[in-house]
């Protein structure tokens, strides 16, 4: 990353084509890894959303009670902090 930043700031003529190619190769490898990581994270999020949707549809009153309880707790914490 330091080399890429140095290329952006300084003159490019001092770098050989081999060095620029090596930097490009590493950046492409990192890009591929990030795309794979993003794909896995997206799949996990979608699976979690589907699981939550099924659970809410199966137990709507329990889900509403839990959401109400969490909302009350968060509200109590916010009110408590604002008084301090």
Structure confidence at residue 62 (pLDDT): 95
Task: Measure the CA–CA gap between 32 and 40, rounded to whole angstroms.
Answer: 12
Contact yes or no for 23/4 (Cβ under 8 A): yes
Residue 15: which residues within 8 A CB-CB, separation 6 or more?
Answer: 7
3 state SS of 10 = coil
Instruction: List, for residues 1-45, the tens digit of each pLDDT value.
Output: 676 666 666 565 556 778 888 888 999 999 999 999 999 999 999
Structure confidence at residue 39 (pLDDT): 97
Instruction: List, for residues 36-82, the tens digit of each pLDDT value.
Output: 999 999 999 999 999 999 999 999 999 999 999 999 999 999 998 87
Predicted TM-score (pTM) of the model is 0.54
């Amino acid at each position: 990353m330091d080399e890429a930043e140095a290329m952006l700031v300084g003159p490019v003529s001092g770098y050989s084509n081999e060095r620029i190619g090596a930097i490009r190769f590493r950046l492409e490898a990192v890009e591929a890894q990030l795309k794979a990581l993003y794909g896995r994270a997206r799949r996990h999020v979608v699976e979690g959303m589907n699981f939550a949707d099924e659970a809410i549809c199966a137990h709507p009153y329990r889900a509403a009670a839990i959401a109400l309880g969490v909302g009350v707790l968060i509200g109590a914490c916010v009110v408590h902090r604002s008084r301090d």
